[in-house]
Amino acid sequence: MPPTLLVLASIASVQFGAAFAKTLFDELGAGGTVFLRTLVAAIVLALIWRPRVAGHDRRDLGLALVFGLVLAAMNFCFYSSIERIPLGIAVTFEFVGPLGVAVFGSRRPLDLLWVGLAATGILLLADFGGGDLDRLGVALALLAGVLWAAYILLSARVGRAFPAGAGLALAMLVATVPLAPVGIADAGGEFLVPGILLAGIAVGLLGSAIPYALELEALRTLPVGVFGVLMSLEPAVAALAGFVVLGEGLVTRELVAIALVVVASAGAAWGATVAPRDA
C-alpha cells in the first residue's frame, strides 16, 4: 500500500476505535475502557518488540517511565473527555497539542495565520462561552492535548534511546500500572464477561497496536511534513466516526470550527520538523 493510504488507514483505525470504545462506557466506564485498551496494546507491542531493561542506564529507563506516565494520563483524560462531549469535538480540542508542537517546530511568520485559524475554531466550538458543552469535558480534552504535546516531544527522545518500537512498548507496559486501579474500580467484574472482553481487545488493537504499526511503516518513505498534514485530518475523521458509530451529529458552527482547526494543523505541520503521532 502507498504510505499515504497507510496513514489514512491508521487515522481511521484510531478514531473508529475510539468511537467503538465509547460504546463500552456503560459496562466498563471510561477508566475500565482505557485500561483494557492500554493493556491489550501493551501486550501486543511487547510481543512484537520485546523491550529489554538490561543494557539501558537509569536515564533511559527514567525517560521510559515518564513517557509511560504521560501516556497513561493522556489517554485517561481523553477517554474521560469523550464520556462527556462528542468525539469529533474532543479530538479538535485535543489537537491544540500537536498544533502547538508543529508551530514551535517551524517558527515561520505564516504560522501566525495557523494559530489565528485554530483559535477561531476553538472559540467557535466553545460558542464564545455560551455553548452547552460540558466544561469538564472540554477541560479534559485540552489537558489531553497538552499531554499529547509532551508525548510527541518525549517520543523523539525515547526513539533515540531504544531500538525500533521497544521504547513505546516499555512505556505502554508502564502506563498500565497507574491505570489498573482506576480501571478495575470502574469496571469491576465486567472484565470477566467474554463479549465485553473481546470488544475491549478489538478496541485495543484498533486504537493503538494497528495504527502504530501502520504509521511506522509509512514513515519509512513518507516525509515528516506530509505525514503531519495527513494526521491533521484526525478531527474530521473523528467527527465522522462519532456520527457513524455513535450518532453524534454536529451543527454547522461545529463543523466549520473543526474544518478551521484541520486547515490550521495541516498548514503548521507542513513546515514542522516533528509530526503529531497518536498512541
pLDDT surpassing 90 at residue 259: yes
| pLDDT one-digit tens code per residue, 210-220 | 888 788 788 77
CA distance 149 to 155: 10
CA angle 76, 214, 3 (to 5 degrees): 135
CA distance 178 to 120: 36
Q: Terminus-to-terminus CA distance in the chain, angstroms?
A: 22
> Which cell is 36 given?
483494557
Segment 13-19 shows an average pLDDT of 95
Residue length, the chain? Answer: 279
Instruction: Tell the burial category of 51 from Cβ atoms under 10 Å away from its Cβ (0-12, 13-18, 19+).
Output: buried
| pLDDT one-digit tens code per residue, 115-162 | 899 989 988 887 655 557 899 999 999 999 999 999 888 887 888 888
Residue ranges covered by each domain of the chain? 3-270
Segment 177-193 shows an average pLDDT of 92
242 near 88, Cβ under 8 Å?
yes
CA distance 24 to 30: 8
Give pTM, 2 decimals: 0.91
pLDDT surpassing 60 at residue 279: no
Segment 166-184 shows an average pLDDT of 94
Q: Which of 84, 25, 40, 83 lies closest to 205, judged by CA? A: 40
68 near 172, Cβ under 8 Å?
yes
In the block, residue with C-alpha cell 484510531: 14
228 near 152, Cβ under 8 Å?
no
CA distance 268 to 136: 28
